[in-house]
């Protein structure tokens, strides 16, 4: 029904009717505009809406508590008023003695008003009336003023309320329980829905400008984003959309950051989901979520799906003792079908990330599913410099920070390590109440990230002296070996499992290692033991890790690298692996006892030669060794500048 308004107007001239109608229409339009501007309020004022959240469970608990507590409170109130209550015998005695002025009968209650104005109450039996009580004391009803109050209506209302209130209360409880059951039933049917997060255009701040050190991978993903933005440019020459891109590499190199950058750059819907989110206790839920995820992405194509840690669901089938009804296997089968099955999957690109590419199923890696496999490595020097500049934004540094030196000293750091290093440097500066971050803060943070936090252990003077000469021996031998890199830092502060350390980062990123450099590395590792024997005429257990590393490197020279008198022969286990690191073939080493004896002899020859060279260098530079150890005992830490002031500048290595 629509409301109809009638307006009666006297019209003298029929021609004026059209003008009146037009005027009314204009008035109505003005009223509508005023309503919109004024928020449907008077004088253009905005209407204020109050929203009240009602919790049915709290209301029910409050009502039930009131029902149980109310009688107790009433009884307490009555007990508190016992001073105004009389026994029926005392009340009748007072009426007989004419002390009572008036009596009011309220059902079984008698209200007595005394001559002095005092009001007291008493209770009679339901079968007794006031007249019968007066007869017992020899009084007539006419001898006293009394009145009767009719309470039948209130009593009836109370009886009805006592019946209806429990019924209503149980009805509400039943309604709430049924509602909760319906909600639970809906939740059961929602198990199979995808939990992917949708990032629309403009919702993600990370872009490709925030990613550095992985330029090759960035180019691949920039191409994917451009394909989705401009598909006509590629289809014109017959190119199709790549089905998927797999990012794999060590932890912390920027796989997830690249995906976030794609979400920030792509002008298409971006669905993000972790591999573990597909798995549930119920079998079949993972496959259902895969179907729902791809169905939603296809409905909004072109779109991108990102699956982080895909190895959680993409592991190779047939491994282990679980049969074909394994939940992970069903989920993987559904992904395989969705990515390249009978149903076309155009304009939906799947990007996945993992650091365990060797575990993935071969069917998942073939072209047509993941067409592109992008390997992310640790950043080189230029990449580390770019990463430092990105993560240095928003932090306050002193002027003239040597970023080149920092990039040189962080060889082997991933992007996540570099970000953590700068954050630790900021924390160190703030802890010391500095306003800016200094170079030594960054150096300390780099050491903390690489070796762990410093530990102030209680050591005797003898232990400190042994540690100082041990680390000084490493530094002296390294400094005077031609092919070794410069010593960057020496410390006798305990970190992790070590009592001290000597940092010798590579001066440049290297792809190959020569026999000369590997031999000198073994010599530098044995410099600590050589210094201990020279100074203390004793061997300590502190060199155990050095000896282990030196022996392993010498064995690799003989068994794997062919750098011994046995010639270029691989005497280790035979194995082969694909580009993902998955072992394709493995055969244990098959070496005769005679050859094993020769291998052990070559290893001993290499280690003995290196140790003799270390002892010779330590003896030749004993004075410098003593000065370095004394300085370490005073300051606990020496950087490259302080070390080279004692021993001189290092000759340039090849």
**Nearest by Cα to 471 from 491, 452, 444, 485:** 491
Helix (H) or strand (E) holding 200: none
DSSP calls for 530-557 = HHHHHHHSS--GGGHHHHHHHHHHHHHH
Q: CA Rg, the chain, in Å?
A: 45
- Residues in contact with 499: Cβ distance below 8 Å, sequence separation at least 6, in sequence order: 457, 459, 463, 467, 492, 542
Token code pair at residue 389: 């500049």
Sheet holding 637-639, edge to edge: 501-503, 489-491, 637-639
Burial of 597 (0-12, 13-18, 19+ CB in 10 A): exposed
Contact between residue 293 and residue 260 where contact means Cβ atoms under 8 Å apart: no
Write the CA distances from 364 to 246, 315, 331, 352, 595, integer angstroms: 10, 9, 12, 11, 43
Annotate 417-486 with DSSP letters as a single string.
Answer: HHHHHHHHHHHHHHHTT-SSB-HHHHHHHHHHHHH--EE-----HHHHHHHHHHHHHHHHHHHT-TTSPP
Residue 252 Ramachandran class (φ > 0 left, ψ -120 to 50 alpha, else beta)? left
Q: Is the dihedral of CA 294, 299, 300, 302 positive or negative?
A: positive
- 532: nearest Cα among 471, 470, 490, 616: 470
393 in Cβ contact with 231 (< 8 Å): no
**How many whole angstroms separate alpha carbon 528 and alpha carbon 542?**
9
Would you report the helix, strand and coil content of the chain in percent, each value rounded to 5? Answer: 55, 10, 35
The set of residues, in sequence order, having a beta carbon less than 8 Å from that of 469 and lying 6+ positions away, is: 531, 532, 535, 536, 625, 629
Say whether 471 is catalytic. Answer: yes
CB-based contacts of 127: which residues, under 8 Å, 6+ apart? none
Main-chain dihedrals φ then ψ at residue 246, nearest 5 degrees: -105, 120
> How far is Cα 571 from Cα 229, in angstroms, rounded to an integer?
54
The answer to whether 572 and 600 have CB atoms below 8 angstroms apart is no
Phi-psi region of 495 (alpha: psi -120 to 50; beta: other; left: phi over 0): beta
Q: Residues 166-194, buried b or exposed e (16+ Cβ, 10 A)?
A: eeeeeeeeeeeeeeeeeeeeeeeeeebeb
Looking at 265, 419, 444, 471, which residue is catalytic? 471
The pair phi, psi for residue 411, each rounded to 5°, is -60, 130
Q: Decide: helix, strand or coil at residue 352.
A: strand
Q: Is 149 helix (H, G, I), strand (E, B) or coil?
A: strand
Kindly list the distances between the CA atom of residue 63 and the CA atoms of 170, 174, 529, in Å, as whole numbers in the listed order: 11, 15, 82
Q: Which residues are catalytic?
A: 471
């Amino acid at each position: 029904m629509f409301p109809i308004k009638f307006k009666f107007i006297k019209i003298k001239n029929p021609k004026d009717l059209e003008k009146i109608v037009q005027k009314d229409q204009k008035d109505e339009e003005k009223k509508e505009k005023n309503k919109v501007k004024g928020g449907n309020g008077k004088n253009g004022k905005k209407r204020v809406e109050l929203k009240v959240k009602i919790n049915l469970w709290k209301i029910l608990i409050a009502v039930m508590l009131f029902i149980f507590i109310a009688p107790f409170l009433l009884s307490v109130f009555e007990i508190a008023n016992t001073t105004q209550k009389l026994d029926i015998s005392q009340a009748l005695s007072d009426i007989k003695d004419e002390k009572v002025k008036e009596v009011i009968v309220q059902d079984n209650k008698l209200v007595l008003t005394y001559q002095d104005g005092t009001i007291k109450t008493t209770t009679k039996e339901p079968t007794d009336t006031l007249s019968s009580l007066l007869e017992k004391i020899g009084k007539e009803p006419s001898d006293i003023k009394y009145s009767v109050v009719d309470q039948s209506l209130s009593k009836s209302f109370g009886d009805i309320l006592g019946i209806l209130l429990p019924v209503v209360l149980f009805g509400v409880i039943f309604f709430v329980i049924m509602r909760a059951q319906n909600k639970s039933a809906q939740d059961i049917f929602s198990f199979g829905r995808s939990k992917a997060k949708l990032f629309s255009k403009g919702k993600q701040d990370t872009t490709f400008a925030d990613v550095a050190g992985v330029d090759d991978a960035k180019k691949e993903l920039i191409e994917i984003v451009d394909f989705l933005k401009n598909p006509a440019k590629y289809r014109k020459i017959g190119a199709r959309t790549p089905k998927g891109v797999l990012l794999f590499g060590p932890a912390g190199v920027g796989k997830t950051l690249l995906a976030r950058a794609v979400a920030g750059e792509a002008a298409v819907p971006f669905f993000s989901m972790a591999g573990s989110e597909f798995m549930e206790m119920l079998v079949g839920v993972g496959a259902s979520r895969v179907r729902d995820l791809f169905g939603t992405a296809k409905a909004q194509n072109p779109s991108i799906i990102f699956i982080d840690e895909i190895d959680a669901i993409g592991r190779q089938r047939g491994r282990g003792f679980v049969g074909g009804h394994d939940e992970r296997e069903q989920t993987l089968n559904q992904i395989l079908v969705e990515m390249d099955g009978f149903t076309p999957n155009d304009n939906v690109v799947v990007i996945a990330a993992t650091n365990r590419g060797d575990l993935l199923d071969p069917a998942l890696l073939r072209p047509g599913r993941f067409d592109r496999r992008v390997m992310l490595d640790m950043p080189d020097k230029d990449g580390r410099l770019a990463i430092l500049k990105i993560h240095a934004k928003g932090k306050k540094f002193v002027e003239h920070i040597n970023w080149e030196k920092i990039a040189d000293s962080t060889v082997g750091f991933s992007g996540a390590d570099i970000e953590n290093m700068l954050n630790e440097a900021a924390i160190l500066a703030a802890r010391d109440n500095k306003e800016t971050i200094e170079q030594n803060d960054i150096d300390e943070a780099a050491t903390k990230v690489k070796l762990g936090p410093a530990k102030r252990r209680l050591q005797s003077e003898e232990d400190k002296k042994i540690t100082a000469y041990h680390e000084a021996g490493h530094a002296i031998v390294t400094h005077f070996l031609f092919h070794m890199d410069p010593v960057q830092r020496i410390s006798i502060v305990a970190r992790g499992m070590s009592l001290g350390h000597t940092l010798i980062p590579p001066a440049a990123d290297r792809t190959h290692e020569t026999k000369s450099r590997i031999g000198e590395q073994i010599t530098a590792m044995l410099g600590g033991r050589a210094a201990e024997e020279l100074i203390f005429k004793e061997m300590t257990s502190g060199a155990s890790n050095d000896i282990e590393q030196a022996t392993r490197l010498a064995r690799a020279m003989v068994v794997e690298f062919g750098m011994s008198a046995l010639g270029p022969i691989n005497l280790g286990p035979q194995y082969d692996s694909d580009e993902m690191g998955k072992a394709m073939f493995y055969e244990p080493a098959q070496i005769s006892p005679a050859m094993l004896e020769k291998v052990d002899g070559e290893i001993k020859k290499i280690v003995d030669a290196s140790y003799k060279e270390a002892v010779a260098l330590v003896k030749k530079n004993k004075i410098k060794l003593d000065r370095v150890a004394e300085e370490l005992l005073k300051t606990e830490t020496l950087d490259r500048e302080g070390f080279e002031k004692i021993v001189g500048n290092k000759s340039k290595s090849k």
